[in-house]
Structure 1
């Protein structure tokens, strides 16, 4: 059985939308590679539309989680990569449609200069941990 502890130390600044440290004791771990807004057919969803791309990224993460019999409730860490920080309010809103906002995962946000394709605006990666007894 796994146990997840969300640490909010008073010695760190207050976090908005993420938990500074998430401890996992036991369980099985899933590392999800960065997901961009490509659908199952390899087509870009939402060309030029940051929100549509962000939503597709999170949906792709959800598909990867489901393949391991996991959900966003099991996500303990997100990596968020954007071309432009102007999309941050939108990214937060979309993220909050997927994660547990009462106990959000640890998170890192990075602005990048480019992705592997010029039309990709955002990428999301994740780490999830689930109990050993729940197996795909």
Structure 2
């Protein structure tokens, strides 16, 4: 009986490792939680957006402005997958690497200058939070948004 189960597990593992989905969407860096986005008034949560490009490479090491631009591009791409745009964003939260007590003035200015080029109208709620650590030491910013259909 044990030999049968070991053989069965081996067959299943081989089959699973060889299975290749044909319509696998490109994986974004971050999470997209959608709650009935096709229904007007429903919210979509996009969390953990980080400054990685489509190849998974960090964009703009040491440059908060470039990293913010890449993260906003990632948010824009995530929204596009569910037929939404930056105009649907009602709340944005920036998590900026710092001393976790306050956001440096230069950081706030860099975020603000990038935001104006992505948001025709700033979201109703904008928060900037200083965090002592991000997923990696070279990641300076992470963004989450709430969008409403």
The two structures have a TM-score, normalised by structure 1, of 0.72
Distance 1:118 1:72 in 2: 28
The 5 A counterparts of 1:26-105 are 26-84=40-98, 85=104, 86-101=106-121, 104-105=123-124
**Deviates further, 84-93 or 54-63:** 84-93
Larger Rg: 2
> 1:128, 1:40 → 2: CA distance?
22
Distance in 1 between residues matched to 2:138 and 2:60, nearest whole Å: 9
CA shift for structure 1 position 52 = 0.6
Matched, 1:115 2:134: yes
**Higher strand content, 1 or 2:** 1
Query: What's the TM-score once normalised by structure 2's chain length?
Result: 0.66
CA contact (8 A) 2:108 2:128 kept: no
Say whether the 8 Å CA contact 2:68–2:114 is kept in structure 1. yes
Does structure 2 retain, via aligned residues, the 8 Å contact 1:34–1:126? Answer: no
Q: Which residue of 1 aligns with 2:10?
A: none
How far did 1:35 drift? 0.7
Native 8 Å contact 2:93 2:128 kept in 1: yes
Report the 3-state secondary structure (helix = DSSP H, G, I; strand = E; otherwise coil) of the residue aligned with 1:77. strand
Which protein is richer in helix relative to its size? 2
Q: CA RMSD in A?
A: 1.3
Instruction: Identify unmatched segments of 5+ residues in structure 2.
Output: 1-39, 99-103
The unaligned stretches of length 5 or more in structure 1 are 1-25, 131-136
Aligned residue pair count: 104
Distance 1:100 1:114 in 2: 31
| Secondary structure at 2:77 match in 1 | helix
